Amino acid sequence: MTLPPLCTELPYHSDSEIYFEAIRTKQWPIFLDSGNKQHVDARFDIQTADPFITLMTLGDNTLITYNSGETQLSSNDPFYLLHNILQQYQPTQKSDLPFCGGALGYFAYDLGRRLEILPELAQDAEHIPSMAIGIYDWAIVSDHKLQKCWLVSYGLNANTHSIWDELVSKLQQAVLPAEQTEFQVISPLRQNFDRPHYQQAFDKIQHYIREGDCYQINLAKRFEVDAQGDPWAAYQLLRKQNPAPFSAYFSTPHVTVLSSSPERLLKVNGTHVETKPIKGTRPRDLDDPKRDKALADELQSSLKDRAENLMIVDLLRNDLGKVCEPGSINVPKPFELESFATVHHLVSTITGTLAEGHDAVSLLRACFPGGSITGAPKLRAMEIIEELEPHQRGIYCGSIAYIGFDGKMDSNITIRTLVYSQNRLRFWAGGGIVADSEADAEYQEIDDKAAAILKIIKQLSP
């Protein structure tokens, strides 16, 4: 295995939470947590903190802050700004590891307003940056397949060399704390769709489908509670009870994100591109293995769910076509069953080859936000979502991603995700509505998807 210039092997732990405990009080700590170790995509955990540059987009402006204290305010396209910064740091050699430094953070769903002209009808109750990205020069990478762990860096920031020995020492002595921190829910659960209002929105979508405006709309419900304490304690519960291959914990001064996402948005390695949209859901019944299997079989054989999945596959093929070589886009694995803690999902894999002149950032921009959480066609779906959902989505249905100095990228879609700021904890659940959808079944699917987080909310309540 080829490793980067700065590399120190650390003791391997099957649960790399122990290393995050050692760095999570630093600035902008982030933990990309592969969660479910049985999943094909659950090989690496990535952790880092103390970025030497940060980018935060609020409205039409992006604030770029350097660790020297220098700041810049720009109204340019946030994706362009990120691309421009990454281009300034080019490693002299490549590594086989997924990430050894680069950009890490979130792109909120509402960053899509910088890419498309959308109406502003839904309430913005989030009041957080639509993009929060750190540029990091070191990372702790745990490889659960090889059972190895390293502290790694391309050494592109001069400060990294001066802190290396101290950081290694801190990590080598890492231990789990004797006492856990606390986090508590302090209000009843609030929802922005009751059953009658959901029915009204559902009926409006059916009208738009009959009129030929759209084929599918992803309609989501927002849940909110008041809470207080250390959100890391809530994430520790989430990762134990609902492990998922694209989980993440990310804390910034404005907001903390706790994600147990099962869905990849985009992955790039060299010029190879992969996306894995989820469409199709059934609840699990772990108490009755026969019924659990029957639910899985029902999902795999459902013509409706396959048709719904195929609509999004076609949408994503079109998105990839903007930046991939003609003829390179394939669907090697359509309609595969993937099972998680509380639900079965239908997942398709789409691949392509990046065209010359394109990279991970231009790919992400071309495909943002992910089509599996908008509907088809994408722009009209986003307009209808803005009309019918009472609140803007914020981070929900955006993406948490890494984009390395070496050009590699992996990213999730921020579903099954909690967002904490201003003593408020929010999460969403939704589903795709098509012509033959039934309102009761769709409303039940929302509850099925929200089940794992609702259980945690209950456990955090007094």
371 Cβ partners below 8 Å, 6+ apart?
277, 312, 315, 316, 319, 378
Can you give the pLDDT at residue 272?
Answer: 98
**For a pLDDT cut of 90, what percent of the chain falls above it?**
96
> Of 28-37, 64-73, 424-433, 451-460, which gets the smallest average pLDDT?
28-37
Can you give the pLDDT at residue 178?
Answer: 87
Whole-angstrom Cα distance, residue 323 to residue 357?
9
The reply to whether 279 belongs to the active site is yes
Q: If residue 441 lies in a helix (H) or strand (E), which one and from where to where?
A: helix 439-460
Instruction: Work out the number of other CB atoms within 10 angstroms of the CB of residue 454.
Output: 16
Q: Does residue 121 lie within any of the structural domains?
A: yes
Can you give the pLDDT at residue 130?
Answer: 98
Residue 266 has pLDDT above 80, yes or no: yes
Instruction: Name the catalytic one among 17, 126, 224, 263.
Output: 263
Q: Does residue 295 lie within any of the structural domains?
A: yes
Q: For residue 191, list its beta bridge partners.
A: 223
Q: Does residue 190 lie within any of the structural domains?
A: yes
Q: Per the structure block, which two tokens stand in for 405?
A: 């100095």
Q: Does residue 407 lie within any of the structural domains?
A: yes
- Say if residues 396 and 118 touch (Cβ distance below 8 Å): no
Can you give the pLDDT at residue 42?
Answer: 85
Q: Domain count of the chain?
A: 1
Nearest 5°: the CA angle 300, 301, 305 is 70
Can you give the pLDDT at residue 164?
Answer: 98
Residue 461 has pLDDT above 80, yes or no: yes
Whole-angstrom Cα distance, residue 92 to residue 121?
48
Can you give the pLDDT at residue 39?
Answer: 76
Beta strands in 168-292 (DSSP E): 183-185, 190-191, 216-229, 246-251, 256-261, 264-269, 272-276, 278-283
Can you give the pLDDT at residue 36?
Answer: 57
CATH of the domain at 135: 3.60.120.10
Secondary structure (3-state) at 304: helix
Can you give the pLDDT at residue 366?
Answer: 97
Kindly give the residue spans of alpha helices, DSSP state H, lying in 74-157: 78-87
- Say if residues 409 and 104 touch (Cβ distance below 8 Å): no
In the chain, the N- to C-terminal Cα span, in Å, equals: 49
Closest CA to 452 of 355, 377, 342: 342
Over residues 111-125, mean pLDDT: 96
Range of the domain at 85: 6-460
Q: Does residue 1 lie within any of the structural domains?
A: no
Can you give the pLDDT at residue 159?
Answer: 94
Tell me the pLDDT band of 378, cut-offs 50, 70 and 90. Answer: very high
What does residue 409 show for φ and ψ, rounded to 5 degrees?
A: -145, 145
Can you give the pLDDT at residue 462?
Answer: 86
Q: Per residue in 303-331, pLDDT tens?
A: 999 999 999 999 999 999 999 999 999 99
Q: Does residue 66 lie within any of the structural domains?
A: yes
Whole-angstrom Cα distance, residue 90 to residue 119?
39
